[in-house]
Structure 1
Amino acid sequence: MRKLFFLLTLGLGWAPGFAQQDSTRWKPELGLSLRSYFMSTSYWEDFKDDYAWGQMARISLQSRLPMGFRVKADYLGFIRLASSDLTQLDPRVPNLNRYEVGLFDVNHLDRAIFGKIGNLHLDYRRPRFQARLGRMEINTPFINAQDGRLSPTFVEGVRWELQAHPKLAVSHHLIWGVSPRSTGHWFGLGESIGMYPVARDEFGQPSAYFGNTRSDLAHILDLTLGLQAGSSLRLNHTLVQNIYSSYQAQWDQTWELPQTQVQGITGLQTTYQHGIGQGGNEEIALRYKNPDDAHWILSGRIGLKSKKSLWHLNYTKMQGEGRYLSPREWGRDPFYTFIPRERNEGMGQVDAVNTYFQQTFPEKSLQAYTYLGLYFLPDPADARRNKYAIPSYAQANLGLRFAPKNALKGLNLHLILMSKVALDQEGLRPAWIYNKVNLFHTNLILNYTLPGN
């Protein structure tokens, strides 16, 4: 790793020398972006309400190098501007707050100011081939930037992409390190699993896999095929050494509807995951995943879209043995029925249906959207099939995005209002409510990117 840092630093210092030969081509580029985030959560009943306000600043430096190489580095700094006492436990449920702590370093909630290196990579680019080595952002079905908070998830490794044919793209990641969202440092893969709430093991006892999970590498292979006009197929294989292997195929199609400016959209997604190796540890009480777990997930979509509107209806069916698990520290659910601020990872069985509607108002630089969903889950008392003890619920999100132009170009304001309600209010335990249902959640996010970056 020291050699990698040396090469990247050398590249950043090397570029200005070439700027004397060609100031347009070799001139380093400096970027600045800011993100201010306010979040609050309140409950119908007498549970501990919380709020938090955090600020992030990202400084980036990138430069072109000879022979198709480029180098980029950025540093992210975080400040806690205000918050309730996030270390205080609710008297009825001895668990930390779930949402607001994610604005800061979940491993060091006492820190009001912290920072970390985000991107730090060397690129090689040719018309049909690209490669990247170092620390980078990522967007794959099972390991991705996640939704929201002050910074995305970063990974460390090597990535290459080949446009093998005009209709066939192949990409591959080999990952050995990660800096999860809501953390201030870099970690090995196994080391990072368990930084978010670990909940219960399959026997109903507190999980003990944090700090005990053995996994050194993750391999991700993606194939994207362009089929007929408006149609694409994506194939993904994600293998996390000693934990699981997942396969996913996703077909998306846009249909031209005659004599109308509206298009039809359909999608079909199939996923299969099974445990491998020791599930993270040879001792059953310390493992992250049961190697005998096996799940299939079917997800579908139908909808309509126009220049200003988008609507779709989605359904997901999950079935199998044990639990479907994918580290929450590494990314969100990849299924069509995913709604920001909740996931169905950790379940053994799910039936979910939701709908999404979006309307854009270009003349006002405004976009409004809403999600509505029903999620039918296993009994929250069944630890084997419901890791986080979440009852079946309904969720509604209302969002507004405002991105002005001209004098305020670079500014982006995003408001998210979310509510979750248990579908069955009878017999709910406090631990099934707090951080989970019967709540109202607010997010106000202000992003600013310096024009020209």
Structure 2
Amino acid sequence: MQKNALFILFLVLFSATLVAQHQEIHTPPHLWKGKKSVAEDSTSLLFAFKHGKVHGNLRYFFMATENQDHLTDAHANAMGGGLFYETASFRGFQFGVGGYFIYNVGSSDMTHIDPYTQTVSRYETSLFDLENLANKHDLDRLEELYLKYNFKKSHIALGKQLINTPFINLQDGRMRPTEVGGLFGEIFPGKKNKLEGGYLYEISPRGTVDWYAIGESIGIYPNGTNVNGTKGNYKGNIESNGVYLLGYTHQLPQGNSLKLWNVYVDNVFNTSMLQWDLKRGAWVAGVQYTQQHAVNEGGNEDPTKTYFSPDQHSRVISTKVGYESGNWKTSLNYTRITAEGRYLMPREWGRDPFYTFMPRERNEGFGDVNAYVGKVNYAFAKAPLKASLSYGYFQLPDVKNYALNKYGLPSYTQLNLDLTYEFTDFLEGLEIQALYVHKANRGNTYENEKYIINKVNMSNYNLILNFHF
């Protein structure tokens, strides 16, 4: 009798559980029902979730590349959007999550191979999925998923997140930026000091939809050549347990600052940088010193599969002097990479930090470089319009000097014209950017068009619309 009673009680409880676990057909869906009343207790976890903030972005990106003569041109239309949510603070903790989707609409064939050079589009492909050039639909990515702890003006976050450092950064020149996974924090020990850094164990590079371990992320972009001229073959062959970053910034009087950075990539290489920025009235100046060396065998014991040749090291000196007054900002910039070896930093991780950087090209992968760049920026006083003009001459080693020229890029000149307009009033949140880039050859290409296509004697056109809400 007692056993029967217990059996009946079990059936009742089990039936109640089934009811709680299933959604009846004729009832409203409650998967997102939340709680009807808003929590008023600011110390409760529910209050933190109810009073969180949602941010959104809709983005359209048109890009086209015009190459010389019969070499293949390309164009792309990309559209996408995403949402990001972050809770209010709960005992110093915040939770954040965000994702993004992209559609390829009316673009040229990203898998098309130029018949003269056997290459595909260089710029347009990274608007979508570099690991699957035919992918037009499954272009979504979980971008942020972290737990952050705030204390005073500082914070530490664990998980998938955005960071912007000299060597690992957003490099947002396509649809979505580079994202990282790990432990990263910003700490302010005093008003004039800032410490930032942490440990990274995964990266989702710009132009991809997946997440990769540190070693796997090196080589998704083109591998160039080894120092002996053989084809680079480090994709999928680099062993590394992660990246350790540490940066220190000290604010000096009168707007001057001193920065120290170190990036240690386990089993691959180490990079250190010192930067000093000065300001005297309207005059500004800056100097950077960067040095690199391999760690162990540079990622792989096999020299044909390694990333950073242990026989090389690099030094970079970058300088600027400029005048900034009112709405004008001007500068003359110079960068010297010594002939001791290639300056190397995975392109999947970010753009160059040098003063001579210009969008749509970089000096990573080269040694024995002299780069000269002039920049002029103007912000219109009576309209939310900004204009930027820059022109540079980049003297590189010969394209057949493989030890110092990883990607077979000849010396070149580059012209950039950039216009950005931010709407107000009824269209507040909408901004439009137009970027024109022209690169002209200034080196010997040995009548081989693989040194020309998507590299020199080309123009690149960009039109980007963003709506932030």
Do these two structures clear the TM 0.5 threshold for a shared fold by scoring above it? yes
TM-superposed deviation, 1:168: 1.2
Please state how far the C-alpha of 1:292 moved relative to its aligned partner.
2.6
Counterpart AA for 1:356: K
Give 1:106's aligned residue: 130
Give the equivalent residue in structure 1 for 2:104: 80
**1:143 alignment counterpart:** 168
2:371 maps to a residue whose letter is A
Q: Could you tell me which residue of structure 1 aligns to residue 244 of structure 2?
A: 219
**Quick check: 2:445–2:451 contact (8 Å CA) kept in 1?**
no
Label 1:243 to 1:48 Cα distance change in 2 as closer, same or farther (>3 A). Answer: same
Matched, 1:350 2:378: no
Match of 1:255 among 277, 280, 288: 280
Tell me how far 1:316 sits from its aligned partner: 0.4
1:335 maps to: 354
Offset, 1:48: 0.2
* Residue 50 (structure 1) aligned to one of 68, 74, 92: 74
Amino acid across the alignment from 2:106: A
Q: How many residue pairs get matched?
A: 433
Asked whether 1:174 is paired with 2:174, we answer no
Describe the SS at the equivalent of 1:56.
strand
Distance 1:147 1:128, change over 3 A: closer
Aligned partners of 2:34, 2:221: CA distance in 1, in Å? Answer: 40
The CA deviation at 1:17 is 9.1
Deviation at 1:34, TM superposition (A): 0.9
Question: SS at the partner of 1:395?
Answer: strand
- Which structure features the higher share of strand residues? 1
Whether contact under 8 Å (2:219, 2:234) holds in the other structure is yes
What is the alpha-carbon distance in structure 2 between the residues aligned to residue 424 and residue 379 of structure 1?
7
Q: Distance in 1 between matches of 2:153 and 2:458?
A: 49
CA spacing shift, 1:315–1:59, aligned 2, 3 Å: same
Whole-angstrom distance in 1 between the partners of 2:37 and 2:239: 45
- 1:161 deviation in Å? 2.0
The aligned residue for residue 121 of structure 2 is 97
> Equivalents in 1 of 2:257, 2:264: separation in Å?
23
1:21 equivalent in structure 2: 41
Using the aligned pairs only, state the percent identity.
35
Task: State whether residues 103 and 149 of structure 1, in contact with CA within 8 Å, keep that contact through their aligned partners in structure 2.
Answer: yes
Structure 1 residues 15 and 103, CA gap change in structure 2 (3 angstroms): farther
Given residue 195 of structure 2, which amino acid in structure 1 is its aligned partner? V
1:422 equivalenced with 2:446 (yes/no): no
Closer, same or farther: CA 128–401 of 1 in aligned 2, 3 Å: closer
Contact 2:410 2:444 in 1 (8 A): no
Q: 1:436 and 1:24 mapped to 2: Cα distance?
A: 54
Q: Which residue of 2 aligns with 1:438?
A: 457
Maintained 8 Å contact 1:15/1:27 = no
| 2:393 pairs with 1:374 | yes
234-243 or 121-130, larger mean C-alpha shift = 121-130
Q: Which amino acid in the other structure matches residue 330 of structure 1?
A: W
Contact 1:147 1:332 (8 Å CA) reproduced: no
Alignment of 1:260-299 (within 5 A): 263-299=282-318
Q: Return the offset for 1:210.
A: 0.5
* C-alpha contact 2:394 2:412 (8 A) present in aligned 1: yes
2:257/2:277 contact within 8 Å kept: yes
Say whether the 8 Å CA contact 2:197–2:244 is kept in structure 1.
Answer: yes
Contact 1:243 1:291 in 2 (8 A): no
Which one of the candidate residues 298, 318, 329 is aligned to 1:310? 329
2:140 corresponds to: 115
Given that residues 274 and 292 in structure 1 are in contact (C-alpha distance below 8 angstroms), is that contact kept between their aligned partners in structure 2? no
Q: 1:407 to 1:344 in 2, by over 3 A?
A: same
Alpha-carbon distance change, 14 to 353 in structure 1, aligned in 2, over 3 angstroms: farther
Q: Distance in 2 between matches of 1:295 and 1:61?
A: 42
C-alpha separation in 2, matches of 1:105 and 1:142 = 23
Q: What are the superposed Cα offsets for residues 323-378 of structure 1, whole Å, 9 maximum, x if unpaired? A: 22110000111110010000111112110000110111132211111110000000
1:237 matched to 2:262? The reply is: yes
Letter in 1 for 2:213: G
Per-residue deviation, 1:313:
0.5
Q: Does the 8 Å CA contact 1:147/1:340 hold for their aligned counterparts?
A: no
- 8 A Cα contact 2:38 2:47, kept in partner: no
- Which AA in structure 2 matches 1:21? D
User: If you compute each CA radius of gyration, which structure gives the higher value, 1 or 2?
Assistant: 2
Deviation at 1:228, TM superposition (A): 1.4
Q: Of 59, 63, 67, which aligns to 2:87? A: 63
Stretch moving more, 105-114 or 418-427 = 418-427
Query: Is the contact between residue 294 and residue 322 of structure 1 (CA under 8 Å) also seen in structure 2?
Result: yes
Q: 1:211 to 1:168 in 2, by over 3 A?
A: same
- Report the Cα distance in structure 2 between the residues aligned to 1:301 and 1:235, rounded to whole angstroms: 18
SS in 1 for 2:318: strand
**Who is 2:26 aligned against?**
none
Equivalent residues in 2 for 1:115-134, closer than 5 Å: 115-134=140-159
Taking structure 1 as reference, are residues 296 and 209 closer, same or farther at Cα in structure 2, changes over 3 Å only?
A: same
TM-score (ref. length: structure 1): 0.92
Give the gaps of 5 or more residues in structure 2: 1-31
In the TM superposition, residue 426 of structure 1 has moved relative to its aligned partner by 6.7
Contact 2:67 2:454 (C-alpha < 8 Å) held by counterparts: no
User: SS at the partner of 1:270?
Assistant: strand
Q: Distance in 2 between matches of 1:345 and 1:105?
A: 22
Residue in 1 aligned with 2:28?
Answer: none
Give the superposed CA RMSD.
1.9
Distance apart, 1:124 and its partner CA: 0.8
User: Which residue identity is paired with 1:196?
Assistant: Y
Over residues 285-328 of structure 1, what are the superposed CA-to-partner deviations in whole Å (9 max), with x where a residue is unaligned?
11111023211111110011123111000000110423221100
**Counterpart Cα distance in 2 of 1:226 and 1:16:** 49
Distance 1:319 1:48 in 2: 35
Mapped partners of 2:84, 2:92: distance in 1: 20
In the TM superposition, residue 16 of structure 1 has moved relative to its aligned partner by: 9.7
* Structure 1 range deviating more: 386-395 or 105-114: 105-114
Deviation at 1:65, TM superposition (A): 3.9
